[in-house]
Amino acid sequence: MVELGWSKGFIVRTPEHQLIFDPDSTNIPAKYSNIFISHAHADHFIGLKSKARKYSTPETRKIFESIYGKSVVNFNDIKFNQTIEIGNIKVMPLNAGHMLGSTQFLITLPDTSILYTGDINYLDTLTTRRAENVECDTLVMEATYGEPSYTFPDRENIYANIVQWTLNEIKKGLTPVFRSYTAGKAQELVKIFNVYTNLNVLTSNRISKVNKIYSESNIDLVYDEISSEIDRKSSVYIMSRSKELNSKKSARAIVMGWAIKMNSRKTAAFPLSSHADFNQLVKFVKDSKAKTVYNFTGFTDIFSNILRKRLGIKSRPLPPLAQKTLPYFN
């Protein structure tokens, strides 16, 4: 018997084993649980702080440790396309395309297969390869932008708009300042300016720590850490906290998928997302050939309804799963 559902994370449970993917709590029964972390964003990596046995890519672990300054214990490095066996359960890590080290997990049992995506991006970017897709019986996927109005412009056009805005602000005598997520988006921004401009790129301390891990993983980034000694002329700033640079001569910008519906006179907004948009999500479902799709995060009800009506696929939000006591596994 296999149970699937949400209980402090996505759970795959048999009478012998419990696999928890991206738990949102550290209160995990360490003796019989195996934790899998998809990537190094705060809403997914909390499980790295638990005492249970943990699995993630080394890049995910390194980014976590660089930001929080703490080593992960009881940890197992994993590599894409190399199977992990836990009893009669096989887990295959696959590239998720969301950020460096981001992972999907193909879970294979004797009579079924389940693909858990975490957050995915289903197209190539300057710093990531698009998510790998494999066929499965059941797909458990994020639906962050699972609503038709969240269809992003062509990525190259977004890059061009970011560069053009930045150059225009510099011509006005202003310093462009981008607010971005510390890991993933910030590094793509650095790469945009490295590839398309000759501007000096200055990043905050937290972002610089992650930049170093990207560079160690053969994603070359050219940047300097923000310092009072750095000349601001022809420079662009990238930081994760808005108060890290206070200047009346700055021009502010943010980059995120939600920006597609934002309108602000004070802050420029660019819909550069590390998540799959609506069309990418639908294509991913089709390519997986899944018979059943469970959704979590975002527009779960809307996206499930669209999959049922458009594709004729069984789909619903990921259901809750009851906790089990230790004797259940003995």
- Residue 248 confidence (pLDDT): 66
pLDDT tens digits for range 218-233: 999 999 998 755 556 7
d(C-alpha 150, C-alpha 280), whole Å? 10
Domain 155-270: CATH class, spelled out: alpha beta
Average pLDDT of 17-33?
86
pTM here is: 0.93
DSSP annotation of 311 reads I
Which carries the bigger pLDDT value, residue 217 or residue 240?
217
- Residue 102 confidence (pLDDT): 98
- Topology (CATH) of 3-149+276-329: Metallo-beta-lactamase; Chain A (3.60.15)
Region of 85 please: left (phi>0), alpha (psi -120 to 50) or beta. Answer: beta
- Residue 328 confidence (pLDDT): 46
Confidence class for position 15, pLDDT limits 50, 70, 90: confident
Domain boundaries, the chain: 3-149+276-329, 155-270
The 3 state secondary structure assigned to 132-183 is: CCCCCCEEEEEECCCCCCCCCCCHHHHHHHHHHHHHHHHHCCCEEEEECCCC
In the block, tokens 């195996």 appear at 34
- Residue 75 confidence (pLDDT): 93
pLDDT tens digits for range 171-230: 999 999 999 999 999 999 999 999 999 999 999 999 999 999 999 999 999 999 987 555
Count CB atoms within 10 A of the CB of residue 52.
18
Collect all residues with Cβ–Cβ distance below 8 Å to 53 and sequence separation of at least 6. 30, 33, 34, 35, 74, 76
